[in-house]
């Protein structure tokens, strides 16, 4: 049974995602953040699709569970392309675009292979709750690793674009909160009913909110020293 | 075992990302200088703000009409301030360097709120001037 809080979060998330899409489509940065726009557009479309299934079949129906978790996995994988576009921006001056493209192809193939192996391992190929939790945990963790490496590159290469810095950090918060949540659900299934069930929707709301904030308040020309932002140890490493 | 490892790494990454994200918001406000009026109202000497003034500054900010564009920032910085308070208390006995770092971060949060207050006061003044001119 969904409560009013769930509906408020869902509505706020939907409106913010739509806002980001409109904002980017109307701005000069549309092509620069093309992957991000496509991702946000996909989120908006999938949210509408999920709501239709929810209204038709109910929150406890197996069909809604299938739609929710599979579309969530697809969105997570498509978010990897957003990370790749950030890598592309960070490494642009080093002319390594070709390698980034190859890395994205390899990453997608690797993720697809891993998912296939997980599905094959499961008896009857059913979408059991344990399988869903394990798959989501692994996908989000891949996201954490990729974003962390990207953040390391941002710090090391002394990237100063405030927008890019904030977009990457918001992505890192989103992935790590979700990965930690699914890992905790895997370890302690009893915790889900209490507070873990709130983490994915809140993290899902945080990401478009943070991105909307960045695109609204931070101009493309704004600059920030990464040494001011990174943790002291990372910043010290940057100067070495 | 793998889930436990993923959990520990993800929580550590989350903390690092959240700290850096909060610092990126605070850093943008660091460039602004405090006006004479705010320093007088709050009782600040120079450009440094004491971390203990955070609570009082937040109360003053709440009294000012909202400009509407700093609410999210204030919430994020409020969580960060609280987090740094926990770090400071936890590290007091074990690591004095971490304690002083957390204290500097808290002072940065207080400075952030002081700048937000400054902007809100300026906004209120503009609103008042506009109303007076409309009459």
B67 touches A: beta carbon within 8 Å: no
Q: How do residues B57-93 score in pLDDT, each as one tens digit?
A: 999 988 887 766 778 888 889 999 999 999 999 888 7
Q: Quote the pLDDT of residue B11.
A: 95
Nearest CA in chain B to A216: B69
pLDDT, position B22: 92
pLDDT band at A44 (very low <50, low <70, confident <90, very high): very high
Full domain range(s) for residue B114: 2-134
Per-residue pLDDT, A175: 95
The number of distinct structural domains making up chain B is 1
Using the Cα atoms of residue B29, residue B34, residue B38 and residue B42 in order, give the sign of their dihedral.
Answer: positive
pLDDT at B126: 85
pLDDT at residue B111 in the model: 93
Quickly state the pLDDT bin for B108 (edges 50, 70, 90): very high
Of A184, A209, A235, which to mutate for an interface test with B (greatest number of B Cβ within 10 Å)? A184
pLDDT one-digit tens code per residue, B9-65 = 999 999 999 999 999 988 878 878 888 888 888 888 777 888 889 999 999 988 887
Whether pLDDT at A240 is above 60: no
Instruction: Evaluate whether B25 touches B87 at the Cβ level (below 8 Å).
Output: no
Mean pLDDT on A69-82: 87
Q: Does the structure show a pLDDT above 90 at A163? A: yes
Nearest chain B Cα distance for residue A213, angstroms: 8
Pick the residue of A177, A188, A212, A236 with the most B CBs within 10 A to test the interface with B by mutation. Answer: A177
Q: What residues of chain B, 70 to 99, have a C-beta less than 8 Å from chain A?
A: 72
Q: Of A99, A48, A46, whose CA–CA distance to A77 is shortest?
A: A46
Q: Do B14 and A183 touch (CB under 8 A)?
A: no
Choice among A59-68, A126-135, A152-161, A226-235 with the minimum mean pLDDT: A126-135
Q: By CA distance, what is A172's nearest residue in B? A: B17
Checking if the pLDDT of A168 tops 60, the result is yes
* Average pLDDT value for residue range A21-38: 91
**Per-residue confidence (pLDDT) for residue B67, from 0 to 100:** 67
Contacts of A218 in chain B (CB under 8 A): 28
Mark yes or no for CB contact B17/A141 under 8 Å.
no
Nearest chain B Cα distance for residue A141, angstroms: 7
pLDDT the model gives residue A169? 95
A173: pLDDT strictly greater than 90: yes
Closest C-alpha among B82, B20, B91, B26 to residue B55: B82
The mean of the pLDDT values for chain A is: 84
Q: What mean pLDDT comes out for the span A187-204?
A: 83
B28: contact with A, CB 8 A cutoff? yes
Buried b (16+ CB within 10 A) or exposed e, B82-110: ebbbebbeebeeeeeeebebbbebbbbbb
Q: In the predicted model, is pLDDT for residue A15 greater than 90?
A: yes
Quick check: B104 contacting A, CB < 8 Å? no
The residue among A4 and A36 whose pLDDT is bigger is A36
* pLDDT confidence band for A73 (50 / 70 / 90): confident
A90-133 per-position pLDDT tens digit: 888 777 767 777 877 787 677 667 766 766 666 655 556 667 77
Cα–Cα dist A100/B90, whole Å: 42
Name residues whose C-beta falls within 8 Å of residue A87's C-beta, 6 or more positions apart in sequence.
A100, A103, A150, A153
Single out the residue of A168, A194, A170 nearest to residue A181, CA to CA. A194
Name the pTM for this structure. Answer: 0.87
Q: What is the pLDDT of residue A206?
A: 93
CA distance B132 to chain A (A): 30
Q: Which residue has the higher pLDDT, A62 or A132?
A: A62
Per residue, the 3-state secondary structure of chain A, as one string, reads CCCHHHHHHHHHHHHHHHHHHHHHHHCCCCCCCHHHHHHHHHHHHHHHHHHHHHHHHCCCCHHHHHHHHHHHHHHHHHHHHHHHHHHHHHCHHHCCHHHHHHHHHHHHHHHHHHHHHHHHHCHHHCCCHHHHHHHHHHHHHHHHHHHHHHHHHHHHCCCCEHHHHHHHHHHHHHHHHHHHHHHHHHHCHHHCCCCHHHHHHHHHHHHHHHHHHHHHHCCCCCECCHHHHCCHHHHHHHHC
Chain A interface test: which of B1, B2, B5, B6 (most A C-beta within 10 Å): B6
C-alpha to C-alpha distance for B42 and A225, rounded to whole angstroms: 29
Q: How many whole angstroms separate alpha carbon B4 and alpha carbon A180?
A: 9
For residue A122, the model assigns a pLDDT of 64
Residue A160: pLDDT over 80: yes
Q: Which of B32, B29, B85, B33 is nearest to B55 (CA)?
A: B85
Weakest-pLDDT range from A17-31, A72-86, A121-135, B13-27: A121-135
């Amino acid at each position: 049974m969904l409560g009013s809080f769930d509906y408020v979060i869902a509505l706020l998330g939907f409106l913010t995602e739509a806002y980001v899409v409109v904002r980017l489509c109307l701005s000069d940065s549309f092509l620069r953040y093309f992957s991000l726009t496509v991702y946000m557009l996909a989120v908006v479309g999938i949210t509408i699709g999920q709501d239709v299934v929810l209204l038709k079949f109910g929150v406890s129906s197996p069909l809604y569970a299938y739609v929710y978790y599979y579309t969530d996995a697809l969105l997570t994988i498509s978010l990897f392309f957003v990370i790749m576009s950030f890598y592309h921006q960070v490494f642009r001056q080093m002319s390594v675009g070709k390698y980034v493209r190859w890395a994205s192809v390899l990453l997608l193939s690797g993720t697809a292979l891993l998912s296939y192996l997980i599905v094959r391992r499961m008896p009857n190929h059913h979408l059991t709750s344990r399988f869903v939790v394990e798959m989501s945990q692994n996908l989000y963790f891949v996201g954490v690793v990729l974003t962390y490496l990207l953040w390391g590159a941002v710090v090391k290469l002394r990237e100063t674009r405030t927008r890019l810095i904030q977009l990457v950090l918001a992505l890192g918060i989103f992935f790590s909160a979700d990965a930690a949540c699914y890992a905790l659900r895997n370890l302690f299934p009893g915790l889900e009913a209490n507070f873990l069930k709130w983490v994915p929707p809140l993290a899902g709301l945080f990401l478009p909110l943070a991105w909307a904030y960045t695109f609204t308040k931070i101009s493309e020309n704004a600059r920030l020293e990464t040494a001011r932002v990174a943790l002291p140890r990372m910043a010290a490493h940057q100067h070495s | 075992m793998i889930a436990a490892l993923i959990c520990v790494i993800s929580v550590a990454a989350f903390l690092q990302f959240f700290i850096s994200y909060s610092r990126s918001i605070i850093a943008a406000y660091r460039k602004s200088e405090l006006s004479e009026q705010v320093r007088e109202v709050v009782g600040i000497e120079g450009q440094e703000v004491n971390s203990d003034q955070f609570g009082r500054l937040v109360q003053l900010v709440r009294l000012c009409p909202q400009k509407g564009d700093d609410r999210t920032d204030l919430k994020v910085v409020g969580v960060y301030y609280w987090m740094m308070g926990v770090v400071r208390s936890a590290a007091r006995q074990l690591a004095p360097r971490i304690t002083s770092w957390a204290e500097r971060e808290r002072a940065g949060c207080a400075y952030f709120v002081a700048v937000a207050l400054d902007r809100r006061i300026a906004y209120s003044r503009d609103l008042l001037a506009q109303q007076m001119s409309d009459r």
